[in-house]
Amino acid sequence: MFTINENFLRLNENYLFTTVAEKIKQFSSEHPDANIIRLGIGDVTLPLPPAVIKALHKAVDEMAVKETFRGYGPERGYDFLLEKIAENDYRAHGIDISTDEIFVSDGAKSDTGNIVDILGENNMVGITDPVYPVYLDSNIMRIKERSITNSKIVFLPCHPENNFLPEIPKKRVDVIYLCYPNNPTGTVMKRDELKRWVIYALENKSLILFDAAYEAYVTEDDVPHSIFEIEGAKSCAIEFRSYSKNAGFTGLRCSYTVVPKELKTKASNGTYVSLNQLWLRRQSTKFNGTAYIIQRAAEAVYSPEGKEEVKGLVNYYLENAKTIREGLQEKGWTVYGGVNSPYIWLKCPDTNDSWQFFDRLLNERHIVGTPGVGFGPSGEGYFRLTAFNSHEKTREAIERIKKWEI
């Protein structure tokens, strides 16, 4: 009889957002007239910027004509996009990244999930708690069965006492996932803090997997947009970027990953292996590129109009973040994030049970958020609200909360 990867049996069957969706469905069927405001899932709501729409139409027209039709694309992505990325996201900020260090793909979820394919199974993996579930689940799926005691995963708790910044672990970690601005807490890692981690990684020959999906929301000067702003990071880090939360590509699917050529590690045969080569081999075997029309859409994000329009989208959501943050502070609640992030992380005011707070907020205020414990045990007693709804709905949600006798 053929066998399955039994690591899957150790995963939770209910994905966080599936449970949330089921609870909303149940509530809606019992209260069909309730005007529910959704501040739960991290999905954008504003339409694609006009520059992107224009680029899409143009590229679609090219696909209609034999002379300009494009089939399979280059393995790393089209040069027109790679060059825009290298220039605008890196060189313009004084970071030297070349086009053959960039890999365009269909989403940061795919890349952060698939990166385990190229890593050894015996690495000690550091994961912050709370955390975006993909890092943890993709490791559980991959780690050898005999070591699933979780002894290969070190959780790094993040809480108000450490400003939601993981402490350097006593037990050595080989691979560390860092996501800043952070999902779910909305907090940031300032340049000096990130530098400590880069130094740690260089000293310990560890690998940092840096998820910068929310970098567009950075508003403060001492918060890095890229880990490669830190000296030495090119020898110890991979960076994931996305067009989902800046240009609204959640339904269009485009992202990229930077694997610097300096990033190498020693194989058991004593040779040094380039992770750039490994990722190229992984991607060229198990992925066939992002659609041409969508790479043209991503290119348009870097046009003068595209840049302005994306700034408009980000500012729109940042204003919501401010509305939530300041509104809840006025209410006297303890809140974090929301300054360099579309996420607000709050201490549940009446309970240490995130799901209980979820139920009360839904039942009594008809507002949907995400229970902190869904992101890990250190999230218990906390709650995530997102800034992706409209100004109107966001303000109304805050008014409802302000009038809430809790």
Window 112-131: residues binding a copy of itself (CB under 8 A): 113-114, 117-123
Query: Which of residues 125 and 165 has its CB atom nearest to a copy of itself in the complex?
Result: 125
> In this chain, which of 85, 127, 175, 247 binds a copy of itself, going by CB under 8 A?
175
List the x/- string, 236-275, binding to a copy of itself by CB under 8 A. Answer: ------------x-xxxx-----------xxxxx---x-x
> In this chain, which of 34, 50, 96, 191 binds a copy of itself, going by CB under 8 A?
50
Stretch that binds a copy of itself, among 28-36, 45-53, 225-233, 370-378 (CB under 8 A): 45-53
137 touches a copy of itself by CB under 8 A: yes
Query: Which of residues 175 and 301 has its CB atom nearest to a copy of itself in the complex?
Result: 175
Q: How far is the CB of 113 from a copy of itself (least distance, A)?
A: 3
Task: Give the end-to-end CA distance of the chain in Å, rounded to a whole number.
Answer: 57
141 touches a copy of itself by CB under 8 A: yes
Q: Whole-angstrom Cα distance, residue 99 to residue 258? A: 9
Q: How far is CA 285 from CA 280, 282, 381, 382, 385, in A?
A: 8, 5, 43, 41, 39
Kindly determine how many residues on this chain lie close enough to bind a copy of itself according to the rule CB under 8 A: 84
Take residue 143 and report the two structure tokens written for it: 């780690």
Q: Is 234 helix (H, G, I), strand (E, B) or coil?
A: helix
Overall size of the chain counted in residues: 406
303 touches a copy of itself by CB under 8 A: no
358 touches a copy of itself by CB under 8 A: no
Q: Which of 149, 142, 133, 150 is nearest to 6 (CA)?
A: 142
Q: How far is the CB of 345 from a copy of itself (least distance, A)?
A: 21
Query: Which of residues 19 and 356 has its CB atom nearest to a copy of itself in the complex?
Result: 19
Query: Which of residues 106 and 299 has its CB atom nearest to a copy of itself in the complex?
Result: 106
Q: How far is CA 188 from CA 185, 192, 344, in A?
A: 9, 11, 12
Window 202-221: residues binding a copy of itself (CB under 8 A): 205-207
> Exposure of 332 by Cβ count < 10 A (0-12 exposed, 13-18 middle, 19+ buried)?
exposed
For residue 92, what is the DSSP state? G
Contact 244, 44 (CB under 8 A): yes
34 touches a copy of itself by CB under 8 A: no
Q: Whole-angstrom Cα distance, residue 149 to residue 15? A: 21
At residue 147, φ and ψ (nearest 5 deg) are -110, 20
Query: Which of residues 306 and 327 has its CB atom nearest to a copy of itself in the complex?
Result: 306
